[in-house]
Amino acid sequence: MGKVAPVLVVLVILTTLWYGAALAMNWDQAQTLADDDAGWTDVATAALTLERPLLPTPDQVVGEMIRGVFGYNVVSSRSLLFHAGVTAWAASLGFMVALIAGMTLAIGIVHIRTLDRALMPWLIVSQAVPVLAIAPMVVVVLGNIGLTGVTPKALIAGWLSFFPITTGMVKGLRSSDPMRRDLLRTYSATGTQVFMKLRWPDSMAFLFPAMKVAAPLALVGAIVAELPTGAQAGLGARLLTGSYYGHTPQIWAALFMAAILAMLAVAAVDGAQALLVRARGGRL
Amino acid sequence: MTHNSLPRPDTGSGQNRGPDALPDHGVVKPDHGVAETVIEARHLGVTFAADRQQTVALTGVDLAIREGEFVSLIGPSGCGKTTLLRLIADLEQATTGTLLVNGVAPEQARKQRAYGYVFQAPALYPWRNVERNVMLPLEVMGLPRAERQARAARVLDLVGLAAFRRRFPWQLSGGMQQRASIARALSFEPNLLLMDEPFGALDEITRDGLTLHLHQLWRRTGLTAMFVTHSVPEAVFLSTRIVVMSSHPGRIVAVIESTLPRERDLDVRETPEYLAVAHAVRAALREGHRDG
């Protein structure tokens, strides 16, 4: 209970503030729609139940989510779960891309001195490119060279999330204690053995925090890649159609679904970490 | 090659064991009765260059260590005792002089897995339990699994950690961790054990216990041992010979032969012979300090 109470308090405060904000932001619209003789309570009620409010109320968003999740068949394009699944799949593939690319780059940087100098500036430049802003363009360009469907989404998700993996792994692969490294030298261990028996296990303590940063980023990448016109499915498409038709509860429902996915992703990383910690006798 | 030797018999008391009783480590031994020279240093010197400043870490080291000896290197910080040990282990390169380990260059000796090295810290791998830590060198050397387990069991028994083989390093006391690291250094049966202040970070009571333990281990295995230390009592208790070193520049100032019997227990520290050797070591340390 000691942990739940503070969370509940914050939740109550946020919800109250939210209702207040909804009231204030939707007031004008409610007044315009209301009859001339409507009292302020009528206007307030209307402000909290508008079909296309400027800011939907929490109960409207939750209602929209429940409808989206339980109201339709999962394979229906009206189901929120269906769209969440599409996005989660693209984000997962993107995360895999980020893991493979990030680790490969890190291994290269750590082992090849020239790569360290030659590659790092470009990696930093790659992160300075506002992928979020040009993602739609990237999707169109990739579509022109025949990459359609989930591939461009996974690539953008991977692009957005590989950098923490790379930097984390570079740091991790270099974190080995000099004495433990000397020890392997006294055994005349090969470079591969040093990697497998020392560097790689040492890097795990850095890989998992990096993955916790990267997983939500991959999700953001997948959503952004779904924004361009033509995307028929995914949370990004829901955001887009929601804003196109001014159906704000749909936008908020999609946003909350994205937040839930991000939490699940981080929880999955935590779960994998817990398995590793158990195999290592209780410490990472 | 070195790992094909049979397990060392550890049933006997270990007394009166000449070089013939030692297992074959694949090193060609001269066919005469005199104990073989394991380490031979001539005019050995190391100069570190950093920022156009030259530091003479070690100069003019002449030293020959025979098989089965227990040699301590003692001296103040910066006297090059760790450097000398690292030279023998091929972890550092000499700038002058010659050094032979088992009759070959240090690099070759390292590749023949001639020595086990125990560092100042246990340097255990935290994600491996005690047994798997001990098996690390055996994995690197490519021994089959059954052989690895048999050897790990034997050396863990030797250091009294058999019951703790499934524990992880953080679950052990400092003394037990260092014992595990000694077991690891012995697991591939080197004929030389190099120890760099292995008990430096431990409390006095634990040190006493481990010192005695190390002595018994050395008696039982017949190893050649080199032991770097700051502690006069430790050096005198353990050694057959004590090399006293001094700093600025790092060098050997005296080599003291111990008059104590090979077989010892903690009570030996009360004997006049012990006190005489300790006195000689302290005098040499003072002498070296004055010169420096």
Q: Do A187 and B113 touch (CB under 8 A)?
A: yes
* Chains A & B: contacts with CB separation below 8 Å: 59
**Residue B178: which of B208, B151, B200 has the closest Cα?**
B200
Please list every residue in chain A whose beta carbon sits closer than 8 Å to the beta carbon of residue B140.
184, 187-189, 193, 197
Q: Which among A183, A189, A283 is the nearest to B117, CB-wise?
A: A183
In which band, very low, low, confident or very high, does the pLDDT at A231 lie, cut at 50, 70 and 90? low
Q: Which among B119, B126, B141 is the nearest to A179, CB-wise?
A: B119
Please list every residue in chain B whose beta carbon sits closer than 8 Å to the beta carbon of residue A188.
110-111, 113, 140
Given this model, what pLDDT does residue A195 score? 96
Q: Residue B250 is encoded by which pair of tokens?
A: 């790092």
Please list every residue in chain B whose beta carbon sits closer than 8 Å to the beta carbon of residue A277.
none
Cα nearest neighbour of B113 on chain A: A187
Point out which residues pair with B192 in neighbouring strands: B115, B224
**Complex ipTM:** 0.84
Cα nearest neighbour of A276 on chain B: B127
| pLDDT tens digits for range A29-69 | 888 888 777 788 888 988 898 888 999 999 999 999 999 99
pLDDT tens series, chain B, 292 aa: 344 444 444 433 434 444 444 444 444 444 444 568 999 999 999 998 877 788 889 999 999 999 999 999 999 988 999 999 999 999 999 999 999 999 999 999 999 999 999 999 999 999 999 999 999 999 999 999 999 999 999 999 989 999 999 999 999 999 999 999 999 999 999 999 999 999 988 888 888 888 999 999 999 989 999 999 999 999 999 999 999 999 889 999 999 999 999 989 888 999 999 999 999 999 999 988 776 5
Q: Do A186 and B136 touch (CB under 8 A)?
A: no
Cα nearest neighbour of B111 on chain A: A188
3-state per-residue secondary structure call for chain A: CCCHHHHHHHHHHHHHHHHHHHHHHHHHHHHHHCCCCCCHHHHHHHHCCCCCCCCCCHHHHHHHHHHHHHCCCCCCCCCHHHHHHHHHHHHHHHHHHHHHHHHHHHHHHHHCHHHHHHHHHHHHHHHHCCHHHHHHHHHHHHHHCCCCCHHHHHHHHHHHHHHHHHHHHHHHHCCCCHHHHHHHHHCCCCHHHHHHHHHHHHHHHHHHHHHHHHHHHHHHHHHHHCCCCCCCCCHHHHHHHHHHCCCHHHHHHHHHHHHHHHHHHHHHHHHHHHHHHHHCCCCC
Tell me if residue B67 falls in helix, strand or coil: coil
Q: Do B91 and A182 touch (CB under 8 A)?
A: yes
Q: Residue B75 is encoded by which pair of tokens?
A: 């001296």
Alpha carbons B76 and B86: distance in angstroms, whole number: 17
Residue B205 is given by DSSP the state H
Alpha carbons A14 and A253: distance in angstroms, whole number: 17
| pLDDT tens digits for range A68-120 | 999 888 888 889 999 999 999 999 999 999 999 999 999 999 999 898 888 88
Task: Domains for chain A: give ranges and CATH numbers.
Answer: 4-55 (no CATH), 80-279 (1.10.3720.10)
**What is the residue extent of each domain of chain B?**
36-114+191-292, 123-189
CB-CB contact of B27 with B275 (8 Å): no
Q: Do B89 and A186 touch (CB under 8 A)?
A: yes
- The answer, yes or no, to whether residue A197 has pLDDT greater than 80, is yes
Q: What are phi and psi of B120, to 5 degrees?
A: -60, -40
Q: In what order do the strands lie in the sheet with B70-74?
A: B115-118, B192-196, B224-229, B70-74, B241-246, B251-257
Given this model, what pLDDT does residue A229 score? 58
Q: Residue A137 is encoded by which pair of tokens?
A: 């363009």
Q: Is the pTM of this model over 0.95?
A: no
Nearest Cα of chain B lies from the Cα of A284 at a distance, in angstroms, of: 7
Q: Tell me if chain B has a CB within 8 Å of the CB of A188.
A: yes
- The answer, yes or no, to whether residue A136 has pLDDT greater than 50, is yes
Q: Residue A43 is encoded by which pair of tokens?
A: 């206007």
- C-alpha distances out from residue B85 to A28, A57, B194, Å: 84, 74, 7
Nearest Cα of chain B lies from the Cα of A282 at a distance, in angstroms, of: 9
Query: Is the C-alpha dihedral spanning A250, A255, A261, A267 positive or negative?
Result: negative
CATH 3.40.50.300 fits B36-114+191-292, yes or no: yes
CB-CB contact of A63 with A248 (8 Å): no
Given this model, what pLDDT does residue B291 score? 61
